[in-house]
């Protein structure tokens, strides 16, 4: 109501920056929690190879999620009051997904160390769902309007492929590879856009 009666000064870039800082904190906390769980499992001396592989993949996947979120055009995601409200409330799902990632990694650790009654495919959904929600949420709120046809095809498709990864033999490995490919496409398209801006 107050915003309709008088214009409230605000800066879209500052809003995206604040949300970005919170996303960064959540990804960092999730990585820290997953790392502590992996270290604790390694002390038991069981399944050392798979746990080290999981640690490497977790680091790469988290870095991939960070890069997808902080794609440079993200700073121009908000245009107007209505857009800022959708952006703010939509981040609930992104933040929840970032926080849930570590719980999914811990579920995978329990499967690797045979401390879980869940079968591998069902446990894998515990980390593929957060990754998919994060990627699709960032795409819907920040990338979709700024991305070209290639970006707007590859990013949502990558999110959906991550979601169905547990049906395959190496879900977390494949999810990580998909995230790396998403980052490669985003870097490629951003470089192409900057080249066009320089030449044109």
Q: What is the mean pLDDT of the chain?
A: 88
Name the band, by pLDDT with cuts 50, 70 and 90, for residue 192. confident
Q: What is the pTM of this model?
A: 0.90
pLDDT at 184 over 90: yes
Q: At what angle do helices 81-112 and 120-138 cross, to 10 degrees?
A: 160
Does residue 175 belong to any structural domain of this protein? yes
Whether 141 contacts 107, CB under 8 Å: no
pLDDT given at position 4: 59
pLDDT given at position 72: 86
Does residue 1 belong to any structural domain of this protein? no
Q: At what angle do helices 12-43 and 48-69 cross, to 10 degrees?
A: 180
- Mean pLDDT over 154-159 rounds to 96
Does residue 120 belong to any structural domain of this protein? yes
pLDDT digits (tens, 9 = 90+) for 48-107: 899 999 999 999 999 999 999 999 888 788 877 777 888 889 999 999 999 999 999 999
Q: By residue range, what is the domain housing residue 177?
A: 12-199
Does residue 7 belong to any structural domain of this protein? no
Whether 19 contacts 88, CB under 8 Å: yes
Does residue 50 belong to any structural domain of this protein? yes
Domains held by the chain: number? 1
> What is the sign of the dihedral through the CA atoms of 169, 173, 179 and 184?
negative
Does residue 5 belong to any structural domain of this protein? no
Does residue 2 belong to any structural domain of this protein? no
Does residue 3 belong to any structural domain of this protein? no
- Mean pLDDT over 127-138 rounds to 95
Name the band, by pLDDT with cuts 50, 70 and 90, for residue 9. low
């Amino acid at each position: 109501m107050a915003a309709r009666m008088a214009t409230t000064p605000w800066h879209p870039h500052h809003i995206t920056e604040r949300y970005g800082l919170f996303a960064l904190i959540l990804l960092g906390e999730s990585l820290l929690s997953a790392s502590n769980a992996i270290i604790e499992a390694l002390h038991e001396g069981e399944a050392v190879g798979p746990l080290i592989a999981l640690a490497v993949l977790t680091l790469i996947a988290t870095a991939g999620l960070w890069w997808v979120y902080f794609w440079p055009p993200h700073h121009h995601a908000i245009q107007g009051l209505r857009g800022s409200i959708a952006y703010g409330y939509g981040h609930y799902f992104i933040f929840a997904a970032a926080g849930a990632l570590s719980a999914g990694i811990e579920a995978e650790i329990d499967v690797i160390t045979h401390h879980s009654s869940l079968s591998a495919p069902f446990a894998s959904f515990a980390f593929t769902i957060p990754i998919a929600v994060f990627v699709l949420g960032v795409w819907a709120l920040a990338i979709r309007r700024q991305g070209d046809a290639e970006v707007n095809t590859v990013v949502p498709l990558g999110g959906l492929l991550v979601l169905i990864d547990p049906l395959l033999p190496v879900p977390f490995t494949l999810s990580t590879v998909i995230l790396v490919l998403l980052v490669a496409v985003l870097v490629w398209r951003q470089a192409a856009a900057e080249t066009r801006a320089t030449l044109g």
